[in-house]
Amino acid sequence: MLKYRGAELDSPPDNEEIMKKDSAYVAKAALELYNGKEGTKYVFDEPFLCCCNLLHPLVILHANFTAREEENSDSSDMFFGEAVQYLGGGSQVLNCVKVDPLAKGGYRNGCVYCRKDIIHPPVEHCEYGSSAFDDQKKLQHKTVKPKPSNQED
């Protein structure tokens, strides 16, 4: 019996299952950040795509997902969420913005790490992923120390 994120599985999860779990994790946390900044009440709809990239000492997660406003449940908007998981423990949501589902500005928008079908906002809305953070020294300079995992928010 295998364990994945606390669940017991008969076989390893397939890539799509992992992608949906990671995307949902990033999406829910990112949407909470977005609602707090914008004063909105979006509710998570469904995960769409997620890409995880290891850049020691971080795992960078970029995700697309849909969400809808509580009072207008008929239409959904697409979002981009960005989070980091620290290899020593802890995680942090860095950003969440609405994106154009037709990707009029291009898909990667300067991100050098993600798969080509993740829709990104312009690079100024993306902490990690632009070529400006490609070298390790600059990346570590931007790194925020994680809270100890036993510390409450």
Residue 73 domain-assigned (yes or no): yes
CA distance 98 to 118: 13
Give the whole-angstrom CA distance, residue 146 versus residue 45.
29
Does 151 reside within a domain?
Answer: no
pLDDT greater than 60 at residue 8: no
Structural domain harbouring 94: 2-142
Residue 11 lies in a domain: yes
pLDDT at 131: 41
- For residue 36, the domain's CATH number is 3.10.450
Q: Is residue 61 part of a domain?
A: yes
Q: Say if 147 falls within a structural domain.
A: no
Full-prediction pTM beyond 0.75? no
Q: Is residue 150 part of a domain?
A: no
38 by DSSP, 3-state: which? helix
Can you tell me the distance from the alpha carbon of 50 to that of 134, in angstroms, rounded to the nearest whole number?
20
Q: Is residue 152 part of a domain?
A: no
pLDDT at res. 129: 53
Domain count, the chain: 1
Domain membership of residue 148 (yes or no) is no
Mean pLDDT value across residues 104-108: 61
